Structure 1
Amino acid sequence: MSIKPKLSRFDLTMIVISLIIGTGIFKSPGEVAIRTGSTQLFFAAWVVGGLVTLCGALTFAEIGARYPNTGGFYKLFSYCYHPAFAFMINWVAIIATTASVAAVALIGAEYLNPILLPQNLQNNTGTKITTIAMVLIVYFINFLGIKMSARVQNLLTIFKVGMITLLCLAIFKSDSGSVITRAIIPTGNPIAQFGLSLVAVFFTYTGYQQTINFGGDVIDAKRNIPKGIIIGIAVVIAVYMAVNFAYYYVLGMGGLQQNTGLAAKMASVVFGEVGSKVTSVLMFVSVLAYVNVNIMSVPRMYYAMAEDGMLPVIFKWVNPRTQAQEFGMSFFVATVLAILFFVGSFGEVLNYAMFFECIGLSTAAIAIFILRKRTSHLNGTGIYTIKWYPLVPLVFIAVYWFVTISIFIDKPKATLVCLSAFAVGLLIYYTAKFGKVGKE
């Protein structure tokens, strides 16, 4: 059963925002402050991150317009490079996404448990129970159909952005520098430190590339995908710059470097004693939105891989009434629950996930040069095209490779593990391909 378009431009814009704004904005600013150590470099990292992300968004907007397909991220690599490379990239992308969803779900449960469970269950077991329940609730919502999932996503996203905006009101209720803690200046090369700070920034900005997975779900995809991506990124950049200014204004660099309970501290300034409960609700909604949008997105990648015969045909099955991939969603949720007991710290997820993301995003952006040649017949048909081509994609690619090299220099072990994961994906592809040929 093929996938039929049901998502509007507004639905897609909300998806873009939710793919990006997870729990990273409540944690990453502290990481950036630790790695930069100065006010100038802190804000420079977020400004550069926003501008480079905008370059990436414009690039992916044209990619989505020129090549709208279900599971577009996989299809793009297969079309522009080779199916083996496409499988390898998406293999690690799915692993990274699944691990991130599990880690984020655990963070959400930790915030929710103090107002949900009795004292004797506020432990590791209670956290796991809450996490599983939360994932299963979202899983049930997605079973009701892609349109229902999108409606829930819209409500969660609007609430989340609204709550973050409320936190920014702390600047009007706090004296500048009211929390004064001396900032720690990191030792080492400032350029290297700036590169490492961008790892945390891009982790917070990443996710929008999955929007092209909905190419088959979006009504008038060639026009609505570019506009949805650009509007969504613009909202995210505005929210991130506002909340980082608020963090700095209220906490100072030293307070940011403590990197504990940033959102809770802000909420306590705005809402007083009930600030911790407000933070818990905000984190819970953020996690629900993040889990929901990934349950919507990742099975679309399974669909594309099944179309190419690299996954069993059952991954391609779509409920004709709801447009839900019931088996694909079930497999993804089962995988998330299975790895809940193996995810590491936020810092570990940050380094591993961003190495995967940097490789995947930069090579996807390079594909625009190939795609322009192969789809030249679309020129002049009214589809979105990048105005400052090729400067825009080149800036995006160059900065992401700078971050990749920074990770390699700082964490060579993590880099080797990630490269091994790529190699395993390539081995699985050729094993499956030769096995399929042998059966024929």
Structure 2
Amino acid sequence: MADAEPLRRELSSLDATAVVIGAIVGVGIFFTPSRVAALAGTRQLALLAWGIGGLIALLGALTFAELGALVPRAGGQYELLRDAYGAATGFVYVVCNATATQAGATGVIALVCVDNLAVAIHGAILGPWLTLGCAIGLVLGVALANAAGVRWGARIQNLTVVVKLATLLAVAAVALLAAPEELEAFATAHSPARLHPVAGIAAALVPTLFTFGGWQQVLWMGGEVKRPERNLPISIIAGVSVVVGVYMLVNWAYLALLGHDGVAGSETLAADAIAVVFAGTGRRAIAVAVAVSAFGVLNAQLLTGPRLLFALARDGRLWPVLGRVHASRGTPVPAIAVLALAAIVLLVVAGADGVDRLLTGVVLVDGVFFALTGLASLVLARRFPHAERPVRMPGFPVVPLLFGVAELGVIVGAWLDPEVRGAAAIGAAWIAGALVLYLVRFRRQLTPRTPGPSPCAKSPGDDTLSP
């Protein structure tokens, strides 16, 4: 290990784009459209909700593309929150993200991957202890692969992204090739409760935008992307654009294969859609696809998440060992180990149900930081008007303002859901705990920084954050 060893810029624009797509396309697209259809009330409104969600995602892509070029270093999102709102905000974000959001997602996604592999191979889910053991082994294996070198993690990401997109396009192809009369025969008679159209779309946007989320993770990899001022914006815009197009296509396919009521009433949406044409092998094929997609998301968590811990440690606000980079591998091995260990501890202590409840509450909290990051470009432009901005996206400041307002609207919409509101108490407690930890360790640093030369500015010859 070596404290001053910089992260290596080994990721191309294609690799970074795969990180964006892989972080967004998880297992949600195989299930979430059912909830969206039920809330929207009609086929047309369901597609409209996905279209509006895609538009908001593109606004976010433009906003984050400019921010990514502004802070092209490891853990860039942490730097943005720190410089825009103060050190406490950045600290709380990283601690909550690492100990709850990322660790919880890593654990749950590992369980989803194991369950679907078991269904694909044996036709049934394994026992709880065997499932837990396999999930822990999977987390350790992926962590070791990412510790071995950033190229290993990138290769896994690239491969799983290809499989994910191929699977979703295959679902669309099935819908295109199937006969309309055959599709109508499989539509169910489920009739969900109807909301007012405006209320239905507003409610449906919550699960829609949660399914679109994840492109911010490439900002955490800014220290390892070649020519980041150019490649980070390209990867974010290209990745989000691809996902929006594929999501719109696959949602049309679901509705074409099952009808609106069939989609709204399905508990195994992708499997039900494929079973319309391929009843025998379709379900196992989808189980394989979900397992691969979950594996890709698991890899994305352990590829990107440790860079936030690394950035916080290099900034002098976390244990110094987490800011170290392996001398020969060029990876933040201690940070990767801590995130993997946190996921395993959550799995063992809380169990699958407990971790899932934690994530339900933290999702709302994570949305707050998402909105804050989007609005950070406005705050930084005001506080540091003369700071160099390598990329200026069209529509500033309207685009980031619209994105921030949209995300705040999603937070309000989520809060109106009693299930999410109850679980949000867990997330609020997590934030309070992180803030108390900050007050204990860095009470004098709670006040915002005095405006001056932008702290986002890169130090000459430095590829990492300066401690």
TM-score w.r.t. length of structure 2: 0.87
Name the residue aligned to 2:287.
Answer: 280
The equivalent of 1:424 in structure 2 is 433
Counterpart among 415, 419, 423 of residue 414 in structure 1? 423
Distance verdict in 2 for CA 1:349–1:177, change over 3 Å: farther
Report the counterpart of residue 374 of structure 2 in structure 1: 365
Query: Are positions 1:378 and 2:388 aligned together?
Result: yes
Are the aligned partners of 1:182 and 1:253 in contact in 2 as well (CA < 8 Å)? no
Deviation readout 1:79-120 (Å, 9 max, x if unpaired): 12111111122222331222122222212221111344596x
Partner-residue secondary structure (3-state), 2:54:
helix
What do the CA deviations read for 1:331-351 (whole angstroms, capped 9, x no partner)? 111111222243438985674
Find 1:99's aligned residue among 104, 107, 113.
Answer: 104
Distance change (3 Å), C-alpha of 1:394 and 1:225: same
Match of 1:138 among 138, 142, 145: 142
Q: Which residue of 2 aligns with 1:182?
A: 189
Corresponding position: 1:263 with 2:267: no
Q: Return the offset for 1:254.
A: 1.5
Q: Which letter does structure 2 place at the counterpart of 1:143? A: A
Distance 1:375 1:273, change over 3 A: farther
Which residue of the other structure, out of 115, 119, 124, is the alignment partner of 1:114?
119
The residue aligned with 2:51 is: 47
Query: Residue 329 of structure 2: SS of its match in structure 1?
Result: coil
Q: Give CA deviations for 1:191-247 in whole Å, capped at 9, x if unaligned.
A: 444333212111111011111111111111111100010000111011101110000
Aligned to 1:60: 64
Q: Give the letter aligned to residue 104 of structure 1.
A: I
Q: Which amino acid aligns with 2:107?
A: A
* CA–CA distance in structure 2, aligned partners of residues 329 and 24 of structure 1: 25
Q: 1:198 to 1:297 in 2, by over 3 A?
A: same
Measured after TM superposition, the shift of residue 434 of structure 1 is 5.1
Task: Give, as a single letter, the amino acid of the residue that structure 2 aligns with 1:147.
Answer: R
- SS of the aligned residue for 2:186 comes to coil
The secondary structure found in structure 2 opposite 1:216 is helix
Tell me the CA shift for residue 173 of structure 1: 2.1
| Paired amino acid for 2:379 | I
Distance 1:38 1:349 in 2: 32
SS state at 2:331 partner: coil
In the other structure, the counterpart of 1:196 is: 203
1:338 maps to: 345
Question: Do residues 161 (structure 1) and 165 (structure 2) align?
Answer: yes
User: How far off its partner does 1:408 sit?
Assistant: 2.0
Change (3 A) 1:416 1:190: farther
Letter in 2 for 1:107: V
Q: Equivalent residue for 2:462?
A: none
Is residue 14 from structure 1 mapped to residue 18 from structure 2 by the alignment?
yes
Q: Which moved more, 1:220-229 or 1:107-116?
A: 107-116
* DSSP-derived class of the 1:273 partner: coil
Q: Distance in 2 between matches of 1:389 and 1:310?
A: 33
CA pair 88-188 structure 1, distance change in 2 beyond 3 A: same
CA drift at 1:164: 1.6
Residues 390-439 of structure 1 deviation map (CA, whole Å, 9 limit, x = unaligned): 22112111111111112222233233333232222111111122599xxx
AA partner of residue 268 (structure 1): A
Contact 1:26 1:262 in 2 (8 A): yes
Cα displacement (A) at 1:174: 4.4
Aligned match of 2:319: 312
- Which residues in structure 2 correspond to 1:217-256 (within 5 Å)? 217-256=224-263
What is the match of residue 461 of structure 2? none
How far is 1:290 from its partner?
Answer: 0.5
Tell me the residue number matched to 1:324.
Answer: 331
Distance (whole Å) between structure 2 residues aligned to residue 347 and residue 103 of structure 1: 7
* Counterpart code for 1:405: V
Q: Please, which of 211, 215, 218 is the counterpart of residue 208 of structure 1?
A: 215
Partner of 1:387: 394
1:85 aligns with 2:127: no
Residues 427 and 20 of structure 1, relative CA distance in 2, 3 Å threshold:
same
Contact 2:365 2:424 in 1 (8 A): no
C-alpha distance in structure 2 between counterparts of 1:333 and 1:23, whole Å: 20
How big is the shift at 1:366? 1.0
CA spacing shift, 1:392–1:324, aligned 2, 3 Å = same
Q: Deviations over 1:98-153 (max 9, x none)?
A: 2122222212221111344596x722223223322322221221122001211121
Contact 1:84–1:426, Cα closer than 8 Å, also in 2: yes
* Paired residues, number: 433
1:38 and 1:185 in contact (8 A); partners too: no
Deviation (angstroms), 1:375: 6.1
- SS in structure 2 of the partner of residue 398 of structure 1: helix
Check 1:296–1:391 CA distance in 2 against 1; reply closer, same or farther (3 A cut).
same
Structure 1 residue runs without a partner (length 5+) = none
In the alignment, which residue of structure 2 is the partner of 1:292? Answer: 299
> Which amino acid in 1 is paired with 2:110?
A
Change (3 A) 1:272 1:60: same
